[in-house]
């Protein structure tokens, strides 16, 4: 969960998000090295006579300036493509959930593996919050899932573009009217993870919170049984 003075990303709660954090650090180090090298050359050219014939007219330098960017792009592209394919891969999901944006501005969830398990999820107004709850992030019904289980999310909308995004899980998928998009994730630990609609979908764009609660399988079965009894 984000908190004041947080300088980095939220703690990863899925293997994909862990990979994204590692890739971010990897790319940031490359950017830092490039910036340091360029800054050193600029300072050296200003303070010393570095602009000699070797720098201005040298075939060796031209070869380095050509090969080095290509090598850097390869170092960034290869891990990036690997993570991209990991995010798109969906193998034998244990649970499929439809995350729908039927009308502005709330989410509806349907557990397709159960016949009558579905509900709408509205943001809790500020005046109704209890101590410990987060303003603009709490929902009256959380999307409950079992931990360490592949979860497939089918995302769509009825009115305008929306986006179902949970930063801690490394998930962000656009909800497009008339189109069914899908993504998948696995939660590696129990907890409550917050997200919001990440598409500017209208006046109440910031009031479409997403709350995912990851619990052990036994607790999920108890929760689903209670929800089906109340349906």
- pLDDT averages per 10-residue partition of the chain, 231 residues: 73 92 94 91 75 63 85 92 85 91 89 91 92 91 94 92 93 92 93 92 87 95 90 64
Concatenating the DSSP letter of every residue in 55-111 gives HHS-HHHHHHHHHHHHHHHHHHHHHHHHHHHHHH---S-SEEEEEEE-STT-EEEEE
Residue 19's φ and ψ, nearest 5 degrees, are -65, -40
Predicted structure pTM score: 0.84
| Amino acid 231: pLDDT | 64
| Amino acid 2: pLDDT | 61
d(C-alpha 153, C-alpha 180), whole Å: 10
Length of the chain: 231
d(C-alpha 204, C-alpha 142), whole Å: 20
| Amino acid 14: pLDDT | 93
Q: Do the beta carbons of residue 164 and residue 173 sit within 8 Å? A: yes
| Amino acid 61: pLDDT | 77
Q: Do the beta carbons of residue 140 and residue 127 sit within 8 Å? A: no
Helices 59-88/15-47 angle, 10° precision: 160
Sign of the alpha-carbon dihedral angle for 12, 15, 21, 25:
positive
| Amino acid 102: pLDDT | 83
Could you tell me how far CA 207 lies from the centroid of its own chain? Answer: 18
Within a 10 A sphere around the Cβ of 10, how many other Cβ atoms?
A: 18
């Amino acid at each position: 969960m984000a908190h004041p003075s947080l300088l980095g990303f939220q703690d990863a709660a899925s293997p994909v998000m862990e990979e994204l954090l590692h890739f971010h650090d990897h790319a940031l180090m490359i950017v830092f090295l490039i910036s340091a090298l360029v800054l050193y050359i600029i300072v050296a050219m200003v303070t010393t006579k570095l602009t000699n014939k070797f720098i201005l007219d040298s075939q060796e330098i031209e070869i380095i300036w050509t090969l080095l960017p290509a090598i850097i792009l390869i170092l960034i592209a290869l891990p990036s493509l690997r993570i991209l394919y990991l995010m798109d891969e969906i193998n034998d999901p244990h649970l499929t959930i439809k995350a729908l944006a039927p009308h502005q501005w709330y989410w509806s969830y349907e557990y397709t593996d159960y016949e009558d398990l579905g509900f709408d999820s509205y943001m809790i107004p500020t005046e109704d919050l209890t101590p410990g709850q987060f303003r603009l992030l709490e929902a009256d019904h959380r999307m409950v899932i079992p931990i360490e289980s592949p979860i497939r999310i089918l995302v769509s909308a009825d009115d305008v573009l929306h986006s179902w995004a949970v930063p801690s899980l490394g998930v962000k998928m656009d909800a497009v009217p008339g189109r069914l998009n899908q993504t998948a994730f696995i939660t590696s630990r129990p907890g409550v993870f917050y997200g919001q609609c990440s598409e500017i979908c209208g006046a109440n764009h910031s009031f479409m919170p997403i709350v995912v609660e990851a619990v052990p399988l036994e607790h999920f079965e108890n929760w689903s049984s209670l929800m089906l009894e109340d349906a």
